[in-house]
Amino acid sequence: MQFAFTDEQQMIRESARAFLEAEASLPAVRLASGAVNGYDEGLWQQMTAELGWSGIAIPEAYGGAGLGFVELGILAHEQGRRLVPSPFFSTVCLATPVILELAREEQKRQWLPAIAAGQLKAAVAVTDRVGHADIRKVGVKLAQVGSAWVLSGEAHFVVGAQSADLLLVVASAKDANASQSLRVVAVASGTAGVRIEATEMLDVTRPMASIYFEQVSVSAEDCLGVDIDASSGLQRALDQARTMLAAEAVGGAEYSLEAVTAYVKERVQFGRAIGSFQAIKHRLADTMVLVEAAKSMAWYAACAADEYANEALAVAASSAKSCCADAFNAVASNAIQLHGGIGFTWDHHAHLYFKRARASSMLLGSPAWHRERIALGLGLSQIASVPQF
C-alpha cells in the first residue's frame, strides 16, 4: 500500500501547522493547561468557529465539511506536535463518532451542527474505576423503574468532562424484563444528580474527571438510537477514536525527535557538538525508524477508519494504537536523556511530552491490551481474556 497526502490534505496540514506554531507555543500551552477548564477558550473558538476544525469529519448535511478520518487525523497529528490543551479529542475525535454511529436522525441534527460550529462540547463516559478498556465492564447502570429510567454508578478518566456541555454515558442497561444490553445515554452536564470531580492526572495538558451519577432520571428519548444494543456501533466509534490517538501520538513523537535533533547539533562537549558522537547518532537513527514506522501505521489506520468493516478496523486501530504509543514513549524518554541535565527540569518542555506519551498510551487501552486483542481476534492467543487496561 502506498500513501501520500492529496494537495487538499497537504494544504490542511500546512495551514494547521502554521496556525499552531503561531498560536500554541509551549509557554502558551503551559498557561492554558493551568486555566479553570484546562484550555484556552479563545484558541478553541479560533480552531472551531473560525477555522472549522471541529466539523471537518462531520457530513455536510449536518453543517460539517464532509471530509474523513485522514483529514481529522492530520489535525490531531498537528495538535499532538504542540500538545494543544483543548476539548478537541473528547468532542471531535470521540463524541462525534459515537453520535454518527449510534444517534437517531433528530439527535444528529440537534448536536452535530452545534459541534461543527464550536458551540457544543461533549465528553464520553465509558471507563470504570479500575480503568477497564473492555466496554462490557462499564461502571454505570441504567435501570428501568416502572415507566422511568434511572442512571446510577460512576465513570472515571473521562476526558474533557469539566468543560463538556453534553455527556454521552455508556451504561449497562436492564429493562423491566431483566434483559441486559449496553446503551449510550445523553445527559446534560448540569443535570440533577450528576457530580463531576476533576482528577489530578500525570498529563496536565489533557484534563480528566470522575463523574458520579446518583439516581439520575432519564427518559428513553435520551438514549442514542432506538431499542438497540450499542456495543457494535460504540466499538467502531472507539476504534475510530483510537486511530486519532495514534495520529496524535505520532505528532508528539515527531516533534520530540525534531527538538532533540536540533539540540544535539548545538550542545557542545569536549569541543564537539554531541550530535557528532556515534552513540548519539545511532540512538537518533533508531528513534527515527520508530517514528517512521509509526507514521505508516497511523495513516493506514486513518484510512481504515473511513473504509474498513468493523473487524478489519479493530485490527488496524489496535495495531496503530499500540505501535504509535510505544514509539511516542520511546522517543519522549530518549529526548529527556539526550537533553542531559536540562531535560530533567520542570522548565524544559521534554517532561510535558513524556507525560503525554505515558498518559495517552493508557487511554482507550494500553499497548499490551491492544496486542492481546489483535492476537485474540486472529486466533493466535489461548488466554480467556485480554489485560484489564
- Phi/psi for 372 (5° steps) reads -70, -35
Q: Tell me, what amino acid is at 105?
A: E
C-alpha dihedral sign at 107, 110, 111, 116 = positive
At 308-356, the pLDDT tens digits run 888 899 999 999 999 999 999 999 999 998 888 788 788 889 999 999 9
What would be the CATH architecture of the domain defined by 125-222? Beta Barrel (2.40)
| Among 218, 188, 209, residue whose Cα is nearest residue 122 | 188
Cα–Cα distances in Å, from 168 out to 106, 160, 299?
16, 12, 28
Where do we find the cell 480552531?
47
C-alpha dihedral sign at 99, 101, 102, 103 = positive
End-to-end CA distance of the chain: 31
At 134-161, the pLDDT tens digits run 888 899 999 988 778 899 999 999 999 9
| Among 301, 284, 183, 307, residue whose Cα is nearest residue 248 | 301
At 38-55, the pLDDT tens digits run 899 999 999 999 999 999
Structure confidence at residue 148 (pLDDT): 82
Mean pLDDT of 101-126: 96
DSSP-derived pairing of the beta strands 180-188 and 166-174: antiparallel
C-alpha span between 263 and 89 (Å, rounded): 30
pTM of the predicted model as reported, rounded to 2 decimal places: 0.94
Q: How far is CA 183 from the centre of its chain?
A: 21
> Confidence band (pLDDT; 50, 70, 90) for 18?
very high
C-alpha span between 259 and 81 (Å, rounded): 11
- CATH homologous superfamily of 7-120 equals Acyl-CoA dehydrogenase/oxidase, N-terminal domain (1.10.540.10)
The answer on pLDDT for 247 being more than 90 is yes
What would be the CATH architecture of the domain defined by 231-377? Up-down Bundle (1.20)
Mean pLDDT of 220-228: 83
C-alpha span between 261 and 255 (Å, rounded): 10
Question: Which is more confident, 271 or 336?
Answer: 336
Where do we find the cell 494537495?
7
Domain boundaries, the chain: 7-120, 125-222, 231-377
The answer on pLDDT for 14 being more than 80 is yes
